[in-house]
Structure 1
Amino acid sequence: MDAGMVVGNELLGLRRRRPEVAGAVLAGTDGLLISSDLPSTDATHLAALAAASYGLGHRVADTVRRGEFRESVVCISDGCVVTYPAGRSALLTLVTGSAAKDLDGLHEEARAVAHRAGRVLDTRGGGIGATAVPDAHAPLAVRTPMATLPTQLRRSARPTWRRPPI
């Protein structure tokens, strides 16, 4: 069974068990769509917005240093949009059609689905267009001093070109 089928079965099972879930999107942390069963919303746009929401939430969690990012919840007048991390490089976003009365129960069940789907994607689907989140405190670049470069890569003291005559 391939990763797409396993993930699709997980999303379908979640929607059967939780009738308030109107749709689900599985996307990479880079905003690329992996799988979707949203009937009326543009899934590619929601995947990109979920990645932005995750990036912001991940950064806030890292800044306040109170633990790992668990979910991002956006409550709207007619329901909620909740984004969960799924493995190293994927996100599960759920759209509820009505105000979820049992949001804690939804979180518990959706985290389990996100964990299983993420594990499948990490082991089988590897990099389905998703990149891992870099460490927020890692250096941006590593610089190499000129003295350690081979002499062939160093610039010569004299320029190799000449100014054309005027």
Structure 2
Amino acid sequence: MNADAALLAELHRLRRAVPEMSGAVLAAVDGLLVAGDLPGGDPHHLAALSAANLGIADRLARLAGHGPLAESVVRCAEGYVVTYPAGAEAILTAITGTAADLARLHAEARPAAQRLGALWDAVRRPTVATAIPPTNDPAAPLATRTPMATLPAGLWSESGGWRSPGRE
């Protein structure tokens, strides 16, 4: 089983264990979607908002002097949105209806978040900057990777301006 299938299988397992769940999303800490089991919703937006929510909630918990965040619970008129840290670089967000038993959700989701985080931490491939010796040559390559270095070739015209892809 590949990593994507393993992540999705763990999300499905969590939803089967907690029938009141209507969806779950695993996001990277930068807000990008890793895996989603969210029928009828937008997993990309939920992933981005989950990262923002977890960052603010963690900051609030530390500022209050209560240590690192265990989870963030948002109680809504029609249910709950609960966000859990998942390993060093991921976030698990679970969506439930109002009938959800939060104690049961926590009991199932906390270990699931640990498993998902371990899977994600094992498969993610961090971007590593290539070390280039310093030089005074203005035409030398940059010392660190920049977003410009990852753009497809041909987007910068010889006359010094941006070109739209597919246009000459």
TM-score, L = length of structure 1? 0.73
Letter of the structure 1 residue corresponding to residue 104 of structure 2: G
Tell me the distance in 2 between the aligned counterparts of 1:106 and 1:12.
14
Cα offset, 1:43, TM superposition: 1.1
Q: Which residue of 1 is the match for residue 78 of structure 2? A: 78
Q: Which runs of 5+ in 2 are unaligned?
A: 128-133, 137-168
Letter in 2 for 1:81: V
2:83 is equivalent to residue 121 of structure 1: no
In the TM superposition, what whole-angstrom CA distance separates every residue of 1:28-58 from its partner, at most 9, and x where no partner exists? 1111011111111111111111111001011
Q: Deviations for 1:1-46, whole angstroms, at most 9, x for unmatched residues?
A: 3221111111111111111000001101111011111111111111
Residues 86-140 of structure 1: CA deviation (Å, up to 9, x unaligned): 010100001113331x21111121000000010111122344x9xxxxxxxxxxx
What's the secondary structure of 1:81's corresponding residue? strand
> 8 Å contact 2:85–2:113 — kept in the other structure?
yes
Q: Percent identity?
A: 50
2:49 maps to 49
Q: Does structure 2 retain, via aligned residues, the 8 Å contact 1:87–1:117?
A: yes
Relative contact order: is structure 1 or structure 2 higher (C-alpha 8 Å, sep ≥ 6)? Answer: 1
Q: Hey, what's the Cα distance between the residues in 2 that align with 1:126 and 1:116?
A: 18
Asked if structure 1 preserves the Cα contact closer than 8 Å seen for 2:81 and 2:96, the reply is: yes
Q: Are 1:3 and 1:125, in contact at CA under 8 Å, matched by a contact in 2?
A: no
**For the Cα contact (< 8 Å) 1:24–1:94, is it kept in 2?**
yes
Residue in 1 that maps onto 2:166: none
The CA RMSD measured in Å over matched residues stands at 1.9
Is it true that 1:60 corresponds to 2:54 in the alignment?
no
| Aligned pairs (5 A) from 1:69-148 | 69-100=69-100, 102-127=101-126
Cα separation, 2, equivalents of 1:65 and 1:126: 33
Q: Supply the distance in 2 between the matched residues of 1:92 and 1:115 (Cα, whole angstroms).
A: 9
What amino acid is the match of 1:19? Answer: P
Based on CA coordinates, which of the two structures has the bigger radius of gyration?
1
> Secondary structure of the equivalent of 1:70?
coil
**Partner SS for 1:83:** strand
Q: 3-state SS of the aligned residue for 1:30?
A: coil
Instruction: Give the number of aligned pairs.
Output: 130
1:12 to 2:12 alignment: yes
Q: Is the contact between residue 80 and residue 96 of structure 1 (CA under 8 Å) also seen in structure 2? A: yes
Give, in whole Å, the separation in 2 of the partners of 1:126 and 1:73.
Answer: 30
In 2: Cα distance, 1:79 partner to 1:99 partner: 7
TM-score, with structure 2 as normaliser: 0.72
SS in 2 for 1:41: coil
2:68 is paired with a residue whose SS is coil
Shift of 1:77: 1.0
